Structure 1
Amino acid sequence: MMTNVISIKKIYKILAELEQTAIELDNSNSKLKAHILLQDSPLFSIDLFSTNSDLFIDYVEEIKNKTAQLERLIQNTNDELSKYQIDILEKQITSLHNAFQSNSNIHNEAQNRLNAIKNRRYKKAVKAVIQPTKNVYQNLSEHHEFERRLSQMLHDKEQERLKAPKNTLDKLSQEVLALHQRLGRCRQAISKIEADIVKFESRN
C-alpha cells in the first residue's frame, strides 16, 4: 500500500510539471496566427484520450481525473483495474510529453501552410470570385473524396495502434495525430468551398 501511495505522489508531481508546461505552450500558441489552422482539431486519437481539444491543458485535466480514479481504486484494493488504469496513464503521459516536444515543429509547418494560403489567395482572388459553378462543385467533390480517404486512413492507423507493441505506440500516436490534423484541414477547406458556393449562387 505504501508503494502505491508513493506512486500516486509521483504521478501528481509529474502532472504538476505537465500542467505548467501545458499552460505556457497554450498561451504561446494562442499568440501565433498559424494556430488557427490547428484549432478545433483533436491532438490525439480518441482511443488514447476522450478529450477533443487543441489545448494541451484539457488533456492534462483528463489525466488528473484518471489519476484521481486510480487513487480510489488503490484505496479499494482493486488491483486488476488499478494496473489497467496505470497502463492508460503511462500511455497518456508519454504521448502528451511527446506532443510538447513536437509543438514547435507542428506550428512551423502550420505557418508555412498559412503563408502558402495567403499567396494563393492573393494570386487567385479575382479568379476565385468568377470561378464557374461547375468547377466549384467539382472541387467540393474532390475534397469530399479526400476527406473519405483520410477518414479511412485514420481508422486503419488507429486499429494498427491498438494491436501494436508498446515500443511502437509513440510513433503510431504521432502518425494518428498528423492524420487528425490533415483531416481537420480538409474539413476546413470543405467549409470554405461550401461558403464560396453560397456566395456565388447568391449573386446569380
Structure 2
Amino acid sequence: MNTNQLVQRLREQLRQLEQEVLQHDASLPAAQRKLLQDTERFNSELFIQHGAQLYPCVEQLHKSIDQLEKQLRHQLAQHTIALSCERIQDRFVALKRALGTTGLNARVQKLQQASKRRSYQQRQGRRHQESGFGWIAAGVMQNSHQLYEELNKHLNWAKKIEQKIEQLQSKLENCHSTDKIPVQNDILLMHRRLGKCRQAISYIEDRIQAFERPHQSYNR
C-alpha cells in the first residue's frame, strides 16, 4: 500500500466512524449529558474532551490524519511516521470503545455522586453530634425543607422567650422586694434559654449554607 492509499484508507475509516459518532451524539439522553458534562473520558494523550458528546474527538482525528499526510509528503523519518500511525490507530480504537461505553460511564458517575452525597451526609451527621446540638434530630440536618422548618421553629421560640423576659422585667419592677429574687432567677433562666436558642439558630443557619453549597453543584 502506497502513502496515498494509506491516507485515503484512514480518511474512509474516519468517515464511517464519524457517522456513528454523529448518531451517538444526537441520541444522547439528557440525563447522560448532565452526568458526564464535567467528565474526561480519555487519557489526555489520546483526546482532549469533556462530557458525553464525542464529536470533538472526530475533529482531532481529522487533524492527526492531516498531520500524517504532511509527514508523508515531506518524507520524514520512518520512525516518526510509524509513531503517528500508532497514535492514530490508538485514537480509532479508543473512540470506537467510547461509543459503546457512554451508558456505563454515566452509571459509574451516578454511583460516584451518590457515594459523595452519602459521605457528605455522614460527615454532617458526625459534626452534628459533636456540635452539642444533638437534641436537634439528625435527620433534619439532611433535608433542606426540614432545616428551614427547624429554623422557623427556633425563631418562634426565641421570640416567645424574649416576650417572657419582657413580662418578667415588668413584674420585677412592680413586685415587692421580698419577691424579687425568684423573679430574678426566672429572668436569668429565660436568658439562658434565649442564649441556647440563638446558638441553635446560628448553628441551623450554618447547616443550611453547608447543605445547599454541595447540592448546588450536584443539581446543576
TM-score (norm 1): 0.55
**% of aligned pairs identical?**
15
> Given that residues 34 and 111 in structure 1 are in contact (C-alpha distance below 8 angstroms), is that contact kept between their aligned partners in structure 2?
no
Aligned partners of 2:209 and 2:16: how far apart in 1? 49
Partner residue, 2:40: 42
How far 1:138 sits from its partner (Å)? 10
Partner residue, 1:192: 217
> Given that residues 43 and 52 in structure 1 are in contact (C-alpha distance below 8 angstroms), is that contact kept between their aligned partners in structure 2?
yes
Q: Deviations over 1:14-44 (max 9, x none)?
A: 1011111111111111x42232011133221
How far 1:4 sits from its partner (Å)? 2.2
Contiguous gaps of at least 5 residues in structure 2:
122-141, 152-203
Name the aligned partner's letter for residue 43 of structure 2. Answer: S
The 5 Å alignment of 1:55-204 reads 55-78=53-76, 79-109=78-108, 124-127=143-146, 133=206, 189=214, 192=217
Cα RMSD (Å) of the superposition?
3.7
Q: Deviations over 1:46-87 (max 9, x none)?
A: 1222x2332211001001101000011011111232111111
Rg comparison, structure with higher value: 2
Name the aligned partner's letter for residue 56 of structure 1. Answer: L
Secondary structure of 1:23's partner?
A: helix
Aligned partners of 1:126 and 1:15: how far apart in 2? 52
Secondary structure of 1:80's partner?
A: helix
Name the aligned partner's letter for residue 3 of structure 1. Answer: N
Cα gap change, 1:43 to 1:62, in 2 (>3 Å): same
> Given that residues 147 and 208 in structure 2 are in contact (C-alpha distance below 8 angstroms), is that contact kept between their aligned partners in structure 1?
no
How far 1:114 sits from its partner (Å)? 8.4
Partner residue, 1:202: none
Partner residue, 1:3: 2
Partner residue, 2:129: none
Relative contact order, CA 8 A, sep 6+: which one is greater?
Answer: 1
Aligned partners of 1:96 and 1:38: how far apart in 2? 16
Name the aligned partner's letter for residue 4 of structure 2. Answer: V
Cα gap change, 1:95 to 1:124, in 2 (>3 Å): same
Cα gap change, 1:18 to 1:39, in 2 (>3 Å): same
How far 1:136 sits from its partner (Å)? 6.1
Cα gap change, 1:35 to 1:192, in 2 (>3 Å): same
Choose 99-108 or 18-27, whichever is displaced more. 99-108
Q: Deviations over 1:115-146 (max 9, x none)?
A: 999xx9xx823246565526966998xxxxxx
